[in-house]
């Protein structure tokens, strides 16, 4: 069994971004990411803090807007519009979830597709689907990097994805298709989930259920990518896959923590640099 090391691979990507940022600086171009956080959700604050740290490491300038919980939608949209219009801002990230009185879709739709480093805008998603140049969604694109840099052959392989969310499952399927995999998407209404999963050469799990996938879902030698993140009692993290059990049959597997998680931020940094013209 091979351990797919997301910590190491994300470190490589951040180092590559750092080099690109330095080169751009020599050309007089600074890379800037604007991060907007509304309210004080503790998990969101941690995510935003990690993004700021990655910016510091790579040399990307981060501009942080921490707005109170009762910020109106109009005020938030006005800030996004202002950032859209600033030539010195390359990426805009609005940390989700937003407070209930703000409509997430309206906010996402207001971000300029040219600065949409999360790749959530319908135009960004459309570009990705038809294979046009543009930002790629961070978690799924990070998984492609994990596979490629771990020498996993994708072309012609059967890839089963469990989960069809707009953030992970659906874009993951599009990117695997781009890489010439034969793709099956499963969800809560899928019949014979176990049998479908057992036919996978590459199994990507994004269900949001701690340790649901055990070795009975996995073909001998399959590559297993675990997107799930859950905090167990005692603060230990686990994924959607029962790692200890599945590692006995998998050919390669990502751990949690240290697998997909660190790739998401690394790919965000990569998107910020690719947004510089
Ligand atoms: P969602 O809750 O949006 O989607 C879960 C998907 O799993 C749905 O499509 C759902 O089906 C499907 N599902 C749920 N239960 C079952 C079941 N019993 N059998 C088959 N399918 C099922 O989650 P996300 O996609 O946003 O996230 C998934 C996991 O990944 C979470 O643990 C999340 O924390 C983690 N995550 C990690 C990231 C990272 O950076 N590593 C980034 C984003 C997410 P249906 O559509 O029918 O309801």
Options 3.40.50.300, 1.10.4190.10, 3.40.50.10860, 3.30.470.20; CATH for 29-127 is 3.40.50.10860
pLDDT for the residue 234: 81
pLDDT for the residue 64: 95
Say if ligand 1 is within 6 A of residue 263 CB: no
Say if ligand 1 is within 6 A of residue 188 CB: yes
Q: Is the predicted pLDDT of residue 7 greater than 90, yes or no? A: yes
**β strands within the chain, DSSP E:** 2-3, 32-38, 61-67, 91-94, 158-162, 182-186, 202-205, 223-226, 230-231, 237-238, 252-253
- Out of 118, 226, 240, 242, pick the active-site residue: 118
Mean pLDDT of the chain: 97
pLDDT for the residue 31: 97
Cα of 228 to ligand 1 centre, how many Å? Answer: 7
Q: What is the dotted CATH code of the domain comprising 138-262? A: 3.40.50.720
Say if ligand 1 is within 6 A of residue 171 CB: no
Q: Which residue minimizes the CA distance to atom 6 of ligand 1?
A: 163
How confident is the model over 251-261, as a mean pLDDT?
Answer: 97
Instruction: Report angle CA 173, 179, 184 to the nearest 5 degrees.
Output: 35
- Within the chain, all domains assigned CATH 3.40.50.10860 are found at 29-127
pLDDT for the residue 78: 98
pTM of the model: 0.97
pLDDT for the residue 39: 96
pLDDT, one tens digit per residue, over 232-243 is 888 899 999 999
Say if ligand 1 is within 6 A of residue 206 CB: yes
Say if ligand 1 is within 6 A of residue 172 CB: no
- Within the chain, all domains assigned CATH 3.40.50.720 are found at 138-262
In degrees rounded to 5, what are phi and psi of residue 103?
-85, 110
pLDDT, one tens digit per residue, over 56-109 is 999 999 999 999 999 999 999 999 999 999 999 999 999 999 999 999 999 999
- Out of 5, 95, 211, 242, pick the active-site residue: 95
Which of 169, 205, 216, 255 most suits a substitution to test ligand 1, by most atoms within 8 Å of the C-beta?
169
Parallel, antiparallel, or unpaired for β 237-238 and 230-231?
Answer: antiparallel
pLDDT, one tens digit per residue, over 16-41 is 999 999 999 999 999 999 999 999 99
Cα of 240 to ligand 1 centre, how many Å? Answer: 9
d(CA 245, CA 100): 39
Q: Is the predicted pLDDT of residue 275 greater than 80, yes or no? A: no
pLDDT for the residue 235: 83
pLDDT, one tens digit per residue, over 121-168 is 999 999 999 999 999 999 999 999 999 999 999 999 999 999 999 999
pLDDT for the residue 34: 98
53 is catalytic: no
Q: Are 205 and 197 in contact (CB under 8 A)?
A: no
Q: Are 206 and 162 in contact (CB under 8 A)?
A: yes
């Amino acid at each position: 069994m091979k351990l797919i090391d997301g910590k190491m691979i994300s470190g490589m990507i951040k180092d590559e971004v750092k080099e690109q940022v330095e080169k751009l600086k020599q050309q007089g171009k600074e890379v800037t990411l604007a991060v907007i956080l509304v309210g004080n959700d503790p998990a969101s604050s941690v995510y935003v803090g990690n993004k700021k740290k990655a910016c510091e490491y790579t040399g990307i300038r981060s501009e942080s807007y921490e707005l109170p919980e009762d910020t109106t939608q109009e005020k938030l949209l006005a800030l996004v519009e202002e950032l859209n219009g600033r030539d010195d801002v390359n990426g805009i990230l609005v940390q989700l979830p937003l407070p209930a009185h703000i409509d997430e879709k309206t906010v996402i739709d207001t971000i300029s597709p040219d600065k949409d480093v999360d790749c959530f805008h319908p135009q960004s998603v459309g570009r990705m689907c038809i294979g046009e140049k543009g930002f790629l969604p961070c978690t799924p694109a990070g998984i492609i990097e994990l596979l490629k840099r771990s020498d996993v052959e994708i072309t012609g392989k059967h890839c089963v994805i469990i989960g069809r969310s707009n953030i992970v499952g659906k874009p993951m399927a599009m990117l695997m298709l781009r890489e010439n995999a034969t793709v099956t998407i499963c969800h809560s209404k899928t019949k014979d989930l176990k049998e479908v999963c057992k036919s996978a050469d590459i199994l990507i799990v994004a269900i949001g259920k701690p340790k649901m996938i055990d070795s009975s879902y996995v073909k001998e030698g399959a590559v297993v990518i675990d997107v799930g993140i859950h905090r167990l009692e005692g603060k230990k993290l686990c994924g959607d896959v029962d790692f200890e059990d599945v590692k006995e049959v998998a050919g390669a597997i990502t751990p949690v923590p240290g697998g997909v998680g660190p790739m998401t931020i690394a790919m965000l940094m990569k998107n910020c640099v690719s947004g510089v013209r």
